[in-house]
Structures are given as structure tokens and as C-alpha cells.
Amino acid sequence: MNRPVEDMQPSRIDMGDVIMSPFDLLSEHHRLFVPLVICVAFNIIMEIGIYVSTQVMFADITSTSGSDSIVPGMSSSALVTYGIVILIVFIIFSLICALMEGWVTAMMMEIKADGAIRSGQHFSIISANVWAIIVGTILMSVIVFAGIICLVIPGIVVAVALSCIVPAIVVHNVGAIDGLKASWKFCWQGQNFWRLFALLTILILIASIPYIGSTMLAFIGSLWFSYAYTEYVHADGGEWSIDNKSEYAKQITDRAPGV
């Protein structure tokens, strides 16, 4: 069954539970590693691509300047080209990580329903929501970027409030707009702003660790937010049941939500 956004009854998340329990799930359900490892692999590829592009750019600058030192000698068009390439790589990586987060959420839904991850069913759940996740991620990025450009604080507030958009789309089987609304409601109605802010702050600190920070972020981020939403959203007033979960999976296999 679909879990309507209007019927959400979000509760306050327990920080200790959100930080530690996903790792317990990993130890019990090894299939959860698959989307996380894919996300980490793409993160490594992205970092290598950015590093190579940066080295090529610096080499071009040096050769253009005619000296051994790096000086601003690159043409504007070449600089823009390198910038666009790096931006495209980052966007692709962000969308892939969003899809992997949706996959993790679908698996956690199955675990919450009947204690196991069944082959094929989580693919039906995530495939029904692919476009909604992509559009929702893009919309969230645009909104957050606009908030930061206008004033930094509104951008941070929006980033926190919309941080659960991917789990929201998957859990409720809704489009991007309703996913934004659900994440917003989970943040404010559930009185979770400062807890989600704390999670994001911890992730930023993790990302700042030299060499391995971004890789750890790619692995942990999806776990924490997927678990926080599926465990504490309490839509329709309660827990998942096996019958409800089976009906839900059947419905979203038959049709994909609109954007």
C-alpha cells in the first residue's frame, strides 16, 4: 500500500540509534553492501577523474605561460570546458548516489516488513521511483543552491529539511514534489531539524578526513538517512506489516509514480 504523505506521523529520531543501528543491519543483511559499494566505487572514479582533469588543466596553464611555474595563462574557453567537465562528473555521481540511497531504503523497507531482503522485490521498488529520485535530487540541489546564493543560512536550513527526499520518495511511492513535501514535514513536524543538522555536520566532518573522507561519506550517508526515515517516519500511524508491504510492492511494480 502507498503510505500517504498527508498521513505521516513522524517522530523524533534517536541519534544513537540512527548512527549505530544501520551497521548492525549491515552485519545481518549483507546485500545492503551492494548499493553502498557501488556508490563508493563511483566516488573513487569521480575523484580520479577530477584529479586527472586538474592535472591536465595545470599542465596546460604551465605550457601556455611558458615557464615552470603555474600562472594564469589558460584561455577562458579552456577553463570553462574543464569546469563543465568536472561539474558534469559531479552531477552524475550525485544522481548515482541518490539512486543507491533509494536502493538502500528499499532494502530497509523489506527488512522492516519481514526481517529479510528478498531477491527482486527491492529492484521493483527502486525501479518504480527512478525518475522521481532523479528529478527530486535535481530540484533539491537547485533549491539549496539558490538558498545559499541568496543568503547562506536559508540554504543550510533547506539542505537539512530536504535531506531525506530520496527515502521519502521510495517509502511513500510518490513523485519528486511530494517527496520534497514529505522530507520537509519529517524535518519540522517530527522536530528533527537539529538532529538532521547534527547528522549532516558529522558527515561533513567525516568528509574532511584526508584521503578517505569522501569515500566514507559515500558509504555512511546513505545508510544514516535511509534508516532515519524508514525507522522514524511512522506513516499511517505504525509499523510495516508483511501483508501491507507485499501489497505495496505489488502496486509500485504495476505503476511508477509521476513527477
Averaged pLDDT of the chain = 81
Average pLDDT of span 49-57:
74
Query: Amino acid identity, residue 258?
Result: G
Predicted confidence at residue 245, as pLDDT, reads: 46
Confidence of residue 52 (pLDDT cuts 50, 70, 90): confident
Predicted confidence at residue 238, as pLDDT, reads: 43
Q: How far is CA 255 from the centre of its chain?
A: 23
Q: How far apart are CA 137 and CA 140, in angstroms?
A: 5
Q: Between 165-172 and 176-188, two packed helices, what is the crossing angle to 10 degrees? A: 110
Predicted confidence at residue 244, as pLDDT, reads: 45
Q: What are 62-81's pLDDT values in tens digits?
A: 555 544 444 455 556 666 77
Q: What are 193-235's pLDDT values in tens digits?
A: 999 999 999 999 999 998 899 899 999 999 999 999 999 987 4
Q: Do 109 and 121 form a contact (C-beta atoms < 8 A)? A: no
Q: How far is CA 71 from the centre of its chain?
A: 38
Q: What are 127-156's pLDDT values in tens digits?
A: 889 999 999 999 998 998 888 887 778 889
